[in-house]
Amino acid sequence: MDQNLKETLEKIAETIAGLSIDAVQKANSGHPGLPLGCKELGAYLYGHLMHHNPKNSKFLNRDHLVLSAGHGSMWLYSCLHLSGYDLSLEEIKNFRQLHSRTPGHPESHETDGVEVTTGPLGQGFGNAVGMALGLKILGQKFNTDEYEIFNNKVYCLAGDGCIMEGVSSEVSSLAGHLKLDNLVVIYDSNNICLDGPLNECCSEDTKERYLSYGFDVYEIDGHDFEAIDSTFREIQENQKRPVFVIAHTIIGKGSPNKAGTHNAHGSPLGEEEVTLTKKELGLNEEPFYVPSKVSSYFEQKREKWAEMEAEWNETVRKWGSSNPELLKDFETMRENRLPDDLEEELNKIEIKDPIAGRDASHAVLQALGEMLPQIYGGSADLSGSDKTMMKAFPLIAPGDFKGRNIKFGVREFGMGTMVNGMSVLGMFRPFCGTFLTFSDYMRNSIRLAALSHYPVVYQFTHDSIFLGEDGPTHQPVEHYMSLRTIPGLHVFRPADAHEVRMAWISALRYQGPTVIILSRQKLPQLGETKTFSFEEGISKGAYIAKKEKSKPDFTLMATGSELLLAFEVAGRLEKLGKNVRIVSFPCFELFEEQSKEYKNSVLGGDIGHRVSIEAGVDLGWYKYIGLEGTAICMEGFGLSAPDADLAMEFGFNADAILERLMTKSS
C-alpha cells in the first residue's frame, strides 16, 4: 500500500473515531464501540475501495455498503459525512435528536447514503444478499459483450449479533448456493456481546460454518491497513463466490478503560473517558474536529467519483443506442412504468369461475410477468401451493440469473429480508409468497418494509379456517388484524377474481409494501363487485357492493370469502322484509385514507344494525360496527376438518348468522 495513502486513511480513521465518540457523548446515548473498532475498515471502504458518488447517492452502478450492525450507526454517519453525502456536520452533532437525519439506527428514507434501514440484527445481512442477487440479475439481463452496465459489489458489515440471529443462516445458505460473487460480508469479530463476552453464549466455528455455506473465507487484523488492502485487492481481482471476511477487531479500541469490554457496547464512554481516549489515539481535543487533510482528500475523491459516474452514463448512452430493446426494459424497470391500460388488460384475463383466490392471483401474475419486466419473485418452498411461479420464465439457478422465479427454500424470514434488499435497488417490484400463517416468521422484515416504504408485494395464501384439514397450526385467525396494525402496510383480502385483479393494480402503484391475502377454496365471481372499476371500488378500501332499497335495517361488512356469505345472509334477511346494505371491505388502510365525505357515504349515519363477517378475530372491527354491532368472527383457534364442517362448527353459514342477528334485533 502506498505510504501516503496509508497515512491519509489513518487520519480518516481517527476522524471517524473522533466524530463518533463526540456525537454519542453529546447525545448521551448510542454505541461508541463499533466506530472505534471499525474505524480503519470505514476509512478504507469509503475513502479508497468503494466505487460510489456521494453527490448522487442513487448512482445505479455504485458499490453498496450495508451496516447490518445498525447500532453502530455513528460509524456510518461519520463515513457518509466525510465522503460528501448530504449529511452535514450539524446533523452529526444532532445524533439521536428529534427529527434529525441521524437517528439511533440507520433509516434509508431519512438519511442520504443509507442503503437500507437496519437495527434489528441480521436483517441488513439479508438485505445485502437480496441486493447482491438483484445486481446479478441486472448484470445478466443488461450486460453485453461490448458494454458492462452492472459490475458493482455489495459490502455488508455485520457483528456477532447478526451472525447469531437465525436469519443470517437462512440468507447465507442461499447466497452460497447461488454463488453470489458480488457479495462481501465483513464480520466485525470482536468477541463481545451487549451482555458480555461472546464465549458465554457462543462457541461455534464461524469460519467452518461459512466455508460449509460455500463462501470463500478470509481472516485479517481489522486494524491493519496493509492486511485490509491486500485482502480486498485479492477479492476485487479473483472473487468467484460470496466472501466472508473475518476482521478481528477490538471493540472500543483506544478507550483505556472500556476497550475490549461490553462497556463499550451501547452506552457513551463518559466525558472523562472521551478525553482519555482522544489522548490515547492522538486526536484533537476540539469536539467534532475534521482535519483539513481529510477534507481536501475527499474533495479530490469526489471529483474522481463524479467523473466515474459521468463515464458510466456515457457507456449507458452508447449501450442504449446499440440495444434499444434492452434500453426499453431498463427504463421501464428504473421508472416502474405501468401500462396506461393496465386495468383493461387485467380485465381481459380469462379466469375460471369459481376459482380459488390463489389461482386467480396466479393468473394475474402470469400476465403481469409478461407485461412488466420489473416483476421478479418467488416462494418459501410453496410455489405449487401459494401459486407464485411465473410459468413463462425459468428459475434463477447457481451462477445463472436470467430467470424470473426465485426458489427461496424454507426460509421465510430470509425471503422477506431479501425482497426488501431487491426493492431498494430501484429496478424491481419484487413479490414473495407463503401461507398466511407463516407470515409470522417474516413479520420483522414486513415491518421494516413498511417503515422504509419498500415496494414489496406479499402473496399470502391459505387465508382462513376454510383451508380445512391441515388444522389450527396452519389456519390463520389473528393474522389479518396483526398485519393491519403495521403502519404503512396495505393489507388486501379480496373477495373474488375481480378484487384480486384490482388489488394487484393497487400494489403496483403503491410506493410501499402490500399484502394480498388469498383463499385456498374456490370462490365465485360476484357480479356486484365486477361492476366497480378500480377507482370506484377497491381503490377506496371499502365500497357499497349492494345498496339497500330504503333505509337499511342491517349493514353487513365483509372481506374475502365471507363477502359471498354476506350476500347469502342479505338474501335471507330481505325475504324477512329487511333492507340490507353490503359493504365490501378489502383494505382497511385505503379506506382510512379516504375523505370524511366518502367514509360517511359508506358507513355514516343511521345504517341499521352493523355486522362484520370475517373468519378472524374481531379486533379492529368495532371501529366500524360500534359497540352495539355484531362481529361474526373467530374467538379461538380452528380445528382439523373439511371446510364445510368448520363453517357449521364456527357459525359461518347463513342459518347461524341469521339466528344471531334476529335474536339480537328482537
Which domains does the chain possess?
3-305 (3.40.50.970), 342-528 (3.40.50.970), 537-665 (3.40.50.920)
* Contacting residues for 380 by C-beta, under 8 A, at least 6 apart: 408, 409, 410, 411, 412, 415, 432, 433, 434, 438
Tell me what the mean pLDDT of segment 38-62 comes to.
98
**Which three cell numbers mark 392?**
413463462
Q: Which long-range contacts (CB under 8 A, 24 or more apart) does 446-449 make?
A: 446/416, 446/483, 446/486, 446/489, 446/513, 446/515, 447/486, 448/117, 448/120, 448/123, 448/420, 449/416, 449/420, 449/423, 449/489, 449/512, 449/513
397: which DSSP letter?
B
Please give the pLDDT value at position 266: 86
Res. 664 pLDDT band, cuts 50 70 90: confident
Tell me what the mean pLDDT of segment 66-91 comes to.
98
Which is it for strands 554-558 and 630-632: parallel, antiparallel or unpaired?
A: unpaired
Residue 398: pLDDT above 80?
yes
> Where do runs of H (alpha helix) occur along 88-185?
89-93, 123-142, 160-164, 166-178
Res. 265 pLDDT band, cuts 50 70 90: very high
Distances (CA, A) of 584 to 42, 147, 408, 563, 603: 53, 52, 34, 7, 11
235: which DSSP letter?
H
Please give the pLDDT value at position 628: 95
> How large is the C-alpha radius of gyration of the chain?
28
Please give the pLDDT value at position 102: 98
Please give the pLDDT value at position 577: 96
Task: Give me the torsion for CA of 611, 613, 619, 625, rounded to 10°.
Answer: -20
Res. 663 pLDDT band, cuts 50 70 90: confident
Residue 165: pLDDT above 80?
yes
Percent over 70 (pLDDT), the chain: 100
**Which three cell numbers mark 578?**
329487511
* Contacting residues for 463 by C-beta, under 8 A, at least 6 apart: 357, 436, 476, 493, 517, 518, 519, 520, 560, 561
Distances (CA, A) of 1 to 231, 243, 277, 457, 623: 12, 22, 27, 46, 66
Q: Give 311-327 pLDDT, tens digit per residue.
A: 999 999 999 999 999 99
Percent over 90 (pLDDT), the chain: 99
**Which three cell numbers mark 361?**
392471483
Q: Is the pTM of this model over 0.95?
A: yes
**E strand or H helix at 609:** strand 609-613
**Helices 324-335/292-322 angle, 10° precision:** 130
Tell me what the mean pLDDT of segment 433-448 comes to.
98
Q: What's the rounded Cα separation, in Å, for the pair 401 and 178?
A: 9
Q: What's the rounded Cα separation, in Å, for the pair 96 and 73?
A: 10
Query: Residue written as cell 379516504?
Result: 594
**Cross-strand bridge partners of residue 183:** 154
Tell me what the mean pLDDT of segment 214-225 comes to.
98
Sheet of strand 457-461, all strands in order from the earlier edge strand to the far edge: 405-407, 375-379, 429-435, 457-461, 514-517, 490-492
Hey, what amino acid is at 553?
D
Distances (CA, A) of 74 to 31, 107, 531, 586: 8, 12, 55, 42
Q: Give 460-476 pLDDT, tens digit per residue.
A: 999 999 999 999 999 99
Which of 214, 161, 205 has its CA nearest to residue 183? 214
Q: What's the rounded Cα separation, in Å, for the pair 149 and 133?
A: 16
Which of 665, 15, 637, 644 has its CA nearest to residue 295? 15
Which of 555, 569, 586, 580 has its CA nearest to residue 660? 569
Distances (CA, A) of 333 to 78, 324, 429: 33, 14, 8
Q: Which long-range contacts (CB under 8 A, 24 or more apart) does 408-412 make?
A: 408/174, 408/378, 408/379, 408/380, 408/381, 408/432, 409/173, 409/174, 409/380, 409/381, 410/380, 410/381, 411/170, 411/171, 411/173, 411/174, 411/380, 412/380, 412/438, 412/439, 412/441, 412/442
Res. 174 pLDDT band, cuts 50 70 90: very high
Query: Residue written as cell 439506527?
Result: 105
Asked if residue 58 lies in contact with residue 35, where contact means CB atoms within 8 angstroms, the answer is: no
Q: Give 597-628 pLDDT, tens digit per residue.
A: 999 999 999 999 999 999 999 999 999 999 99
Residue numbers annotated as active site: 412
Res. 666 pLDDT band, cuts 50 70 90: low
Query: Residue written as cell 466472501?
Result: 243
Asked if residue 298 lies in contact with residue 291, where contact means CB atoms within 8 angstroms, the answer is: no
Q: What's the rounded Cα separation, in Å, for the pair 247 and 184?
A: 12
Q: What's the rounded Cα separation, in Å, for the pair 435 and 460?
A: 5
Other Cβ atoms within 10 Å of 140 Cβ, number: 15
Please provide the average confidence, as pLDDT, over all residues in the chain. 97
Query: Residue written as cell 385467525?
Result: 477
**Which three cell numbers mark 587?**
383494505
49: which DSSP letter?
I
Sheet of strand 183-189, all strands in order from the earlier edge strand to the far edge: 64-67, 154-158, 183-189, 243-248, 216-221
Asked if residue 491 lies in contact with residue 433, where contact means CB atoms within 8 angstroms, the answer is: no
**Cross-strand bridge partners of residue 457:** 431, 514
